[in-house]
Amino acid sequence: MKADKRPAFAGLSDEKIKLLLSVSETPFYAIDEEMIRRNCKILSEVSKNTGCRILLAQKAFSGFDLYPIMSEYLDGTEASGLYEALLGKEKMPGKEVHVFSAAYREGDFDRIVGCCDHIVFNSPAQLKKYGKKAKAAGCEIGLRVNPECSVQDGGMYDPCSKGSRLGTTRYNFDRYLTKEDIELLDGIHFHTLCEQNSDALEKTLQAVELKFGDILSNLKWINFGGGHHITRPDYDREKLERCIKYTAEKYHVTVYLEPGEACALNAGYLVTEILDIVENGQIKTAITDVSPACHMPDVLEMPYNPPIYGVTGEGTFRYRLGGPTCLAGDFTGEYVFADELKAGDKLILGDMAIYSFCKNNTFNGMPLPNIYLIGENGGISRLTDFGYNDFRMRLGKTNM
């Protein structure tokens, strides 16, 4: 299950609630500009206190309309492939662009080296294939390492699980890399965390030192990856800063972090309307116009129950929320409400800026929810204009 990230509605004032409920269309996402700035300020303080550099991991949040604000505080973007790299280069001009992929496509690589500052390889074979070319283009080169230290439950989100395809173990580092290969490296990268506190990072660093400490002093940087829930209220930032300073001072390297969720944690909402109430004799189900399978697939993949504004777990009316698709398991979760629900009611789901519209899809012909912005000026505006063509264009010819 996902970590508890409440209070998910800490930034949701009465004024913002009125704005959200004033929008006639549903479902829709809303990004909270004030909360984005709040998160980025916290991350910037970590940078100032430690000298580390912090990147936005676009896989979690790629709402580029907010990049101008985020670029005031962050050092650049982290990409998982060509398209995210191009987006970071275009929408955060002048900032660093880093990329990591489990494997690069040969046809994409010329464009990748043309828009990236740092390129991290996943395996010795990829480093051997592309390292010299990337170096010749002026890119700094890194290798993702696997410290073989699991700090979380659940194999799907554990890059150090047995048989993981992510990162190079020390055994394979020694077996496959020559002295010439190692001399190409400017840094190493590890990523072992998922929505965790700094105690998990501390444990991971011990493993990284044990496995790869002997090569760190010859490098320029080390990237601690993502999964750090730095902007969560209970996150131990003092311990994080100690870990960063210790590593930087001992090995004379620049430390990078690439959080995604922490940049946009609790900074988004998804507003939905109840279409119908059905009952199968065991529990009432409220059918909403938002589909977990389509509009917030992370709910099914993690899985977890997203927070709903006003739901405290106390009350007498128990409902399961379900989407309108034909997928039998298209459920948002089970909740207890203080009041009885009825068709036409609107619900506000929290923490929906992350892993939502960057992962959504049009299964069953579901429309893509538009994205709105709650501005710091107190207004709300629509950023997108999705419709039938956004469904159709993904399935065939668009000129007929």
How confident is the model over 391-399, as a mean pLDDT?
87
Model confidence at 353: pLDDT above 90: yes
CB 234 within 8 A of CB 32: no
Domains and CATH numbers, the chain: 14-30+267-392 (2.40.37.10), 51-263 (3.20.20.10)
Could you tell me if residue 288 is left (phi over 0), alpha (psi between -120 and 50 degrees) or otherwise beta?
A: beta
| pTM for the structure as a whole | 0.95
pLDDT, tens digit, 9 for 90 and up, residues 261-301: 999 999 999 999 999 999 988 899 999 999 999 999 999 99
Tell me: pLDDT of 236 over 80.
yes
Strands 331-337 and 317-322: antiparallel
Tell me the per-residue pLDDT of 157-208, one tens digit each, with 9 for 90 and over: 899 998 999 999 999 999 999 999 999 999 999 999 999 999 999 999 999 9
For 41, how many CA atoms within 13 A lie in the half-sphere containing its CB?
A: 6
What's the rounded Cα separation, in Å, for the pair 353 and 265? 7
pLDDT tens by residue, 208-235: 999 999 999 999 999 999 999 999 999 9
First to last CA, the chain: 45
Out of 27-31, 309-313, 351-355, which region has the weakest mean confidence (pLDDT)?
Answer: 309-313
Structure tokens at 340: 């009885």
Burial category of 148 from C-beta neighbours within 10 Å (exposed 0-12, middle 13-18, buried 19 and up): middle
Determine the Cα–Cα distance for residues 344 and 26; give it in Å rounded to an integer.
11
Could you tell me how far CA 339 lies from the centroid of its own chain?
34
The set of long-range contacts for 103-110, using a CB threshold of 8 Å and a minimum separation of 24, is 104/130, 108/81, 108/82, 109/133, 109/134
C-alpha to C-alpha distance for 376 and 397, rounded to whole angstroms: 41
Percent over 70 (pLDDT), the chain: 97
pLDDT in tens, 89-107: 999 999 999 999 999 999 9
d(CA 239, CA 243): 6
Looking at residue 388, what is its pLDDT? 96
Residue 153 binned pLDDT confidence (cut-offs 50, 70, 90): confident
What average pLDDT does this structure show over 133-142?
Answer: 98
Please, which residues bridge with residue 254 across strands? Answer: 221
Q: What angle do CA 210, 216, 220 make, to 5 degrees?
A: 155
Q: Tell me: the pLDDT tens digits for 55-86?
A: 999 999 999 999 999 999 999 999 999 999 99
- Mean of the pLDDT values across residues 250-258? 98
Neighbouring CB atoms inside 10 A of 161's CB total 16
Supply the mean pLDDT for the chain.
Answer: 95
Average confidence (pLDDT) over 318-344: 96
